[in-house]
Amino acid sequence: TASASGAEPGVAPGTAEAGPRPAPPWRERLRVGLSAWGDTRILLIGTIVLGMTFAEGSANDWLALAAVDGHGLSNTEGAIIFGVFVTAMTVGRVFGGPILDRFGRVPVLRACAALGILGLVLFILAPNEGLLYSGTVLWGLGASLGFPVGMSAAADDTQNAAARVSAVAMIGYFAFLVGPPVLGLLGEAWGILNALFLILALMVLAGLAAPAARERTSAPAA
């Protein structure tokens, strides 16, 4: 029911109801979007996403070929290796949510980086098929959570969250697009298995940058 003064409920007399805020000019939107690239935390989160996404995208294009040309497996076995990797990625993302809720982002990202590094070492140097398959599983688990956790961490700060998420996503998709051809060039020069050491180095950087994804805690209300 309207008050005696005629104002709407919950609106102070003499004040007009606020309408939709006008969109800021495009120059301001551009400045806000570019400011995300000057945020050290966002760049470190981008490093996490770069390493993990590079590991995922490169496996999509080169894993089966590396198993066939590098380890002498048949084409059928190469396809099975790729299926094992995709299955491990899926398992990691399905069970990653509860694990993140229990342990937090930083320990989980460090564990993922460690699994990915161990998996890559096993895959590159495996003397037998058993270790090759084990390395593939660890590689898939290690690369599974980097991109989604990076997106979530970039959105922690609600102010300019869209610009921050966009910057991290651009880094991730850059890795998806650039990673496979870079590995192809390195593989042509030094062999495909040796080229995979680049992924290992990026996974190390992702593990070192993991603290940047720490959850933001809001200040208690007064």
Letter for the amino acid at 12?
A
**Per-residue tokens: 151:** 């997106």
Q: How confident is the model at residue 138 (pLDDT cuts 50, 70, 90)?
A: very high
From the list 44, 80, 38, the residue with the least C-alpha distance to 63 is 80
Count of all residues that appear for the chain in the document: 222
pLDDT value for 179: 85
User: Using CA atoms in the order 191, 193, 194, 200, what is the torsion angle rounded to 10 degrees?
Assistant: 150
From the list 151, 163, 150, 116, the residue with the least C-alpha distance to 136 is 116
User: Using CA atoms in the order 117, 118, 123, 124, what is the torsion angle rounded to 10 degrees?
Assistant: 60
Report how far apart, in Å, the C-alpha atoms of 97 and of each of 17, 59, 78, 108, 222 are.
42, 23, 30, 10, 32
* Sequence-separated (6 or more) residues with CB below 8 Å from residue 114: 142, 207
pLDDT tens digits along 5-27: 545 455 455 554 555 666 666 56
Centre a 10 Å sphere on the Cβ of residue 180 and count the other Cβ atoms it contains.
17
pLDDT tens digits along 143-177: 999 999 999 998 887 777 888 888 899 998 888 88
Residue with tokens 């098929």: 129
Residue with tokens 């593989």: 187
- The arithmetic mean of pLDDT across residues 36-62, rounded, is 89
